[in-house]
Amino acid sequence: MTNEQLIIEGKKYVMNTYNRLPIALVKGEGAWVWDADGNKYLDFVGGLAVNSLGHCHPKVSDAVALQARELLHCSNLYWIKPQVELARILVEKSGLDKAFFCNSGAEANEAAIKLARKYAKIHYGPEKFEIITMKRSFHGRTLATLTATGQEKFHKGFAPLPEGFKYVPFNDIEALKAAVSPNTCAVLLEPVQGEGGVYVAEQEYLQQVKELCEANGMLLIFDEVQCGLGRTGRWFAYQHYGVKPHILSLAKALGGGVAIGAMLAREEVASGFQPGDHASTFGGNPLACAAGVAAMTAMDEEQVITNAREMGSYFIKKLAALAAKYPLIKEIRGKGLMVGVHLNRPGAGIVDYCRKQGLLINCVGRDILRFLPPLNITAEEVDYCISILEEAMAREG
Ligand SMILES: *Cc1c(COP(=O)(O)O)cnc(C)c1O
Ligand 1 atom, smallest distance to 48 CA: 1
C-beta of 140 in contact with ligand 1 (< 6 A): yes
- DSSP per position, 108-131: HHHHHHHHHHHHHHHHH-TT--EE
Tell which one of 102, 138, 188, 263 to mutate to probe ligand 1, the residue whose CB is within 8 A of the most ligand atoms: 138
Q: What is the DSSP letter of 263?
A: E
Known active-site residue 223: yes
Given 101, 129, 223, 236, the catalytic residue: 223
Fold of 3-56+303-396: Aspartate Aminotransferase, domain 1 (3.90.1150)
CA distance linking residue 193 with residue 200, whole number of Å: 6
Residue 364 pairs in a beta bridge with: 368
Task: Give the pTM.
Answer: 0.98
CB 91 within 8 A of CB 264: yes
Known active-site residue 37: no
Q: Kindly report the protein residue whose alpha carbon is nearest to atom 15 of ligand 1.
A: 226
Known active-site residue 252: yes
CA distance linking residue 66 with residue 61, whole number of Å: 9
Q: What is the pLDDT along the chain (397 residues), one digit of tens a residue?
A: 999 999 999 999 999 999 999 999 999 999 999 999 999 999 999 999 999 999 999 999 999 999 999 999 999 999 999 999 999 999 999 999 999 999 999 999 999 999 999 999 999 999 999 999 999 999 999 999 999 999 999 999 999 999 999 999 999 999 999 999 999 999 999 999 999 999 999 999 999 999 999 999 999 999 999 999 999 999 999 999 999 999 999 999 999 999 999 999 999 999 999 999 999 999 999 999 999 999 999 999 999 999 999 999 999 999 999 999 999 999 999 999 999 999 999 999 999 999 999 999 999 999 999 999 999 999 999 999 999 999 999 998 7
Residue 130 pairs in a beta bridge with: 184
Q: Where are the domains of the chain?
A: 3-56+303-396, 59-301
Given 129, 138, 165, 371, the catalytic residue: 138
Q: Does domain 59-301 have CATH number 3.10.105.10?
A: no
Q: What is the DSSP letter of 172?
A: -
